[in-house]
Amino acid sequence: MARQDNTVRPGSSTAAVHGGRAPDRPWPRGMTTPVFQSSTYELDGAAYEDIARTGGTETWWYSRLGNPTVDAVAAKVAALEGAPAAQAFASGMAAITATVMTAAPPGGRIVAARELYGEAFTLLDQVVPESGRSVTFVAMSDLEAWRRELPGADAAYVETLSNPMLRVADLPTIAGLARDHGATAIVDSTFASPVNVRPLEHGFDLVVHSATKYLGGHSDLMAGVVAGSEPLVARITAIAKTFGGCLDPLTAATLDRSLKTLVLRMERHNDNALAIARWLRAQDQVEAVSYPLLDDHPDVALARTLLAGGSGIVTFRAEGGDARAGALMDALSLIVQATSLGGVESLVSAPYNTSHRQLSADQRSAIGILPGTLRLSVGVEDVADLIDDLGAALTASAPAVSGDRAGYR
């Protein structure tokens, strides 16, 4: 577990650049965090004493249990989220797994939004129940359902902006209900990033990220983070040490470097995505566009009060179902077909055969993923070039498309 670096002033841009510097004495005082590429550390009297006294929580003595470079990047994320503490992981799913398993003990119950990233849904729908915890799913925007289900629950779990339909969670209300019933409020804020909202300021106890996405930002690493209060994060860290999904120091250093430009990147992602959402909305062949700051988004009022920006994802549906969606993706020349998001390059994927392939067609349509749905992760390129690419692909894919593209990836 890493503690927030209290020497950092509160502005997000300052925290992104200066937060979480690893101690590099007695080496030269470099501008960057050193990569402590060591699996183990020489033990001395102080280390043995800490191991005996605390189990070794204050000392670095074996890298699965803690590493200075990894802890430095976790401290930077803690600073960005305004959290007292954070723990880094090898992936977003490792962070989510350790977090939900800690928040609800065996025999406990989690209330989760049904609109979730596919793998997180599978974790909660299938894996977590096998471990003796039960999970109740509610529609994310149905506050009555949260109110009904939260009494007696151990944890609430939701995404700030749901993947892929971009519904906006009513963070203050859900956090308030969880608090009223003594449940730990957990939010996956991967899609929003701490630049667009800091969920702990709205009452959430824990915020998790797939740092693979915006925090990493360059499609070159896998990582996850959870941030929150020291006691809660310490409990998650204790489980994480046993689960073993630890981040490696080289990746931590890459993530640390990426975070320095997070605020700059997010500003461009926000601007580009809003412009593209508005442009798509004006196209005859586009049946639906979901972007939190569009006037006709069901949660636009909430988005305007909660979010500093709408983030970089635009989900849309062109006429012609999945076959047209596949043809449209094939016709793009700049935007790349790939199933991730949050990088500097624009990526597009069809949730039905990628991020939400684990769901049945009925489960997908219940959360709004209708045939033809595409998830566009808008990068930081020149927005005019992206719009040209989309315009050309819409035209090129316009003729009726035939054939079964069910296996299309």
- Contact between 91 and ligand PLP by CB under 6 A: the answer reads yes
- Contact between 93 and ligand PLP by CB under 6 A: the answer reads yes
Instruction: Give the separation between CA 50 and CA 65, rounded to whole angstroms.
Output: 13
Window contacting ligand PLP (CB under 6 A); options: 186-194, 289-297, 324-332, 356-364? 186-194
Question: Closest CB to ligand PLP among 78 and 93?
Answer: 93
In angstroms, what is the minimal distance from the CB of 358 to ligand PLP?
12
Question: Closest CB to ligand PLP among 20 and 224?
Answer: 224
Window contacting ligand PLP (CB under 6 A); options: 117-125, 178-186, 192-200, 241-249? 117-125
Binding mask 216-235 for ligand PLP (x = CB under 6 A): ------x-x-----------
Which one of 3, 64, 109, 147 is the catalytic residue? 64
Query: Does the annotation mark 284 as catalytic?
Result: no
Query: Does the annotation mark 291 as catalytic?
Result: no
Interacting residue with ligand PLP among 36, 117, 204, 408 (CB under 6 A): 117
Question: Closest CB to ligand PLP among 249 and 351?
Answer: 351
Which one of 76, 114, 117, 352 is the catalytic residue? 117
- Number of chain residues interacting with ligand PLP (CB under 6 A): 16
| Footprint on this chain of ligand PLP (rule: CB under 6 A) | 91-93, 117, 119-120, 159, 163, 188, 190-191, 210, 212, 222, 224, 355
